[in-house]
Amino acid sequence: MTQDTALIDATGTPEDAAAAPERKVFIKTYGCQMNVYDSGRMSDALASEGYVTTDDMEDADLVLLNTCHIREKAAEKVYSALGRLRETKKVRAAEGREFMIGVAGCVAQAEGDEIARREPAVDVVIGPQTYHRLPQALRRARIGERVVDTEYALEDKFEHLPDPTKTKGRVRSVTAFLTVQEGCDKFCTFCVVPYTRGSEVSRPLLQIVSEAEKLVADGVRELTLLGQNVNAWHGVDAAGRAIGLGDLLYRLAEIPGLARLRYTTSHPRDMDDRLIEAHRDLRMLMPYLHLPVQAGSDRILKAMNRRHKAAEYVALIERIRAARPDIALSGDFIVGFPGETDEDFRATLDLVETVGYAQAYSFKYSTRPGTPGADLPDHVPEEIKVERLARLQELLLKQQQEFSQSLIGRTIDLLLEKPGRLPGQLIGRSPWLQSVNVDANSSQIGDIINVRITAAGPNSLFAEVAEG
């Protein structure tokens, strides 16, 4: 089979979708927002095979695990889930019913052959760069071939995926993720992303705008642009000029019906002047920025290969806040990196005190096989990592609570996203990404309404509809 034929076979046609028997797929998504986006696009691609999504794994003909390799023991969790699925497959086989198992995502990319060796019940293993070929892989598996497809694709996978429109069995939200950039060239010594997602690749401007327009036409009001280093996105405009993420945001802001824009995750080295200007000029660009720093010690930042210093990060935050005073900051932190001393950890606490975060994610360092960090000397004892993480999280939680409390009494615009637990209650996200509960009987999902914050809980806000 030639490559071109394989792509046509993988993508399918409307006639194929009409002829295929209806099957159900259950997709379990682990990890980051990009995996959430990828799961949605795999669902779109599977529609050509007659698949509709289901929330009930017991009702599925295909279970797909879309995996993440960032956290510790990620692979073990996958193998544990596969063990349970193996038993289900035996039961289905005894009943004469089809039950296929697929593993996708970063664990699949990193351990594809090992997954196939250790778990014979798996039919398909497919990496994040080749999931557009999932329909073809399932066809091959259905006739008895075990498929491991983790080679980096030469073709642009997004060119071979169906349009992101409504598909049977999957209801669109008023918010959506849109991948604009993949991969990483930074090679932080603790991170597996360059090895599982590949080098930095930016989707073309027109391709992104086209997908965004289709999503908005389908009822989406808020878009979150995704990338492993999203602010490393670069492209070419209609005049042939090189542009960056800031220019892309200005272009997307022109789409009629689109009300809100966000993006994640950023790297401090790629935060340029044009992107900061976008935060200043675009009111629809929400005042929330996730900008990981990882540590406050220059010595540890160098060992992590972050290629910036703590003072440079703080100066960058000051420039961003000068452009958008109401912006809220989120960050990532790793404690107990090899060689981290009490003084190094104190520098991280000092940086957190200086910046002030509305939200943050913090973790103990854990080794990732194949990364340079795994081979560094002077690993920090586990009990010290536990103690440092507790101190850091106590400070970060205090800052988060202080930020939430500061919003009480303020009137904000709220995009209503889904029903709440109580009759008449709806839930939306604040401009700073907190969940907000409000009684809004006269409003509906997709509306943007004015609400007044009345209370702040541990993980969400409460509000009432503002008068006038």
Nearest one of 243, 249, 247, 291 to 267, comparing CA atoms: 291
Task: Give the pLDDT of residue 9.
Answer: 36
- Please determine, for residue 154, whether its predicted confidence score (pLDDT) is greater than 70: no
- Please determine, for residue 74, whether its predicted confidence score (pLDDT) is greater than 60: yes
* 162-197 confidence digits (pLDDT tens): 776 555 545 568 999 999 999 999 999 999 888 888
* 229-241 confidence digits (pLDDT tens): 999 999 999 899 9
**What's the average model confidence in pLDDT over 412-428?**
94
Same domain as 211, residue 121: no
Residue 319, burial from CB neighbour count under 10 angstroms (0-12, 13-18, 19+): exposed
The answer on whether 30 is annotated among ligand-binding residues is no
Same domain as 292, residue 267: no
Core vs surface per residue 47-69: b (16+ CB within 10 A) or e = bbbbbebbeeeeebbbbbbbbbb
User: Is residue 21 very low, low, confident or very high in pLDDT (cuts 50, 70, 90)?
Assistant: low
Same domain as 33, residue 153: yes
Task: Give the pLDDT of residue 14.
Answer: 41
User: Is residue 459 very low, low, confident or very high in pLDDT (cuts 50, 70, 90)?
Assistant: confident
Task: Give the pLDDT of residue 33.
Answer: 85
Same domain as 210, residue 350: no
Same domain as 31, residue 88: yes
Look up the CATH number of the domain holding residue 102: 3.40.50.12160
The answer on whether 68 is annotated among ligand-binding residues is yes
Is residue 387 assigned to a domain? yes
- Please determine, for residue 243, whether its predicted confidence score (pLDDT) is greater than 50: yes
Same domain as 113, residue 17: yes
Domain encompassing residue 337: 288-307+324-406
* Lowest-confidence pick of 3-12, 28-37, 249-258, 291-300: 3-12
**What's the average model confidence in pLDDT over 354-371?**
93
Same domain as 299, residue 418: no
Is residue 224 assigned to a domain? yes
Is residue 114 assigned to a domain? yes
DSSP 8-class letter at 381: P
The answer on whether 54 is annotated among ligand-binding residues is no
**What's the average model confidence in pLDDT over 438-457?**
94
Residue 79, burial from CB neighbour count under 10 angstroms (0-12, 13-18, 19+): middle
How far is residue 428's CA from residue 438's CA, in Å, rounded to a whole number? 8
Average pLDDT score over the chain: 90
DSSP 8-class letter at 172: P
pTM of the shown model: 0.85
The 3-class secondary structure across 266-283, one letter per residue, is: CCHHHCCHHHHHHHHHCC
The answer on whether 106 is annotated among ligand-binding residues is yes
Look up the CATH number of the domain holding residue 430: 2.40.50.140
Nearest one of 106, 113, 111 to 129, comparing CA atoms: 106
- Please determine, for residue 355, whether its predicted confidence score (pLDDT) is greater than 50: yes
How far is residue 337's CA from residue 190's CA, in Å, rounded to a whole number? 8
DSSP 8-class letter at 21: P
* 40-52 confidence digits (pLDDT tens): 889 988 988 889 9
